[in-house]
Structure 1
Amino acid sequence: MAMLGITKHSKVPLRLMTIAGFALAALSLLIAIGYFTAKLIFWNSFNMGMAPLLIGQFFFGAVQMIFLGMLGEYVGAIQTQVRNLPHVIERERINFDRIGD
C-alpha cells in the first residue's frame, strides 16, 4: 500500500531517476576525461585495463536512466490527465439551494 501511495500520487521517483541519470552521466564523463588525461601524460607506464569499459558501461547506463526518467515523466503526465480529479475541493457551499427542495 505504501508503494502504491508513493508511485500513484507523486512524480518524485521519476524526477529522482532523471536527476540521478544526469549526475551519473556527468560523473562518468569527468572520470573519463581524467582517465584520458592520465593516459596522455603517463603514456608508457599507464596500462589500459578494464577502466575504459567500466566507464563506458556506467555512462550508457546513465543515459538509459535519463531516458527512463523522461519516459516515466511522460507516462505520469498522461496518467494525471486521465485520472480526472477535481480541480478544487469544496469544504461547504454557501447560498446554493439543494436540488429538489
Structure 2
Amino acid sequence: MSNREYPYYFIKLGKLYYVDQCYKDVKKREVTSYDFTNKEYFAFPISEESIAKQIAEKCGGNIVEKSATFHDYVRQGQRWSRYIHRRKKKLWRVYTVK
C-alpha cells in the first residue's frame, strides 16, 4: 500500500478531543450529549471536513486537521472503536447493577 497521506479531522474543545455523541428523547424533547477524552490517541477521526465542521459547531469545539497514511487512519479508527466499546460496556455495567 502507498505511503500517500490523507487528511482527516479531530474536534477539539480546549484540551479535550471529541469521541462520540448521543441523542436521547427526554419527555418528547431531543437532548444531545457529547463525550470527550483528554487523549488524542482515542479521538474520533472524521474523514470529511464538512462533517467535522458541523459537529464542531454543535458542540462548541474547533476542528484540527491531521494527515496520515490510510493504514494509520484505519488504526486510529480501531483505537477509537475499542475505546468506545470498553467505555459503553463499563457504563452498561454501572447502570445495570442494583
- Fold conserved (TM > 0.5)? no
Higher strand fraction (1 or 2): 2
* Structure number with higher relative contact order (C-alpha < 8 Å, ≥ 6 residues apart): 1
CA radius of gyration, larger in: 1
> Normalising by structure 2, what TM-score?
0.35
> Normalising by structure 1, what TM-score?
0.34
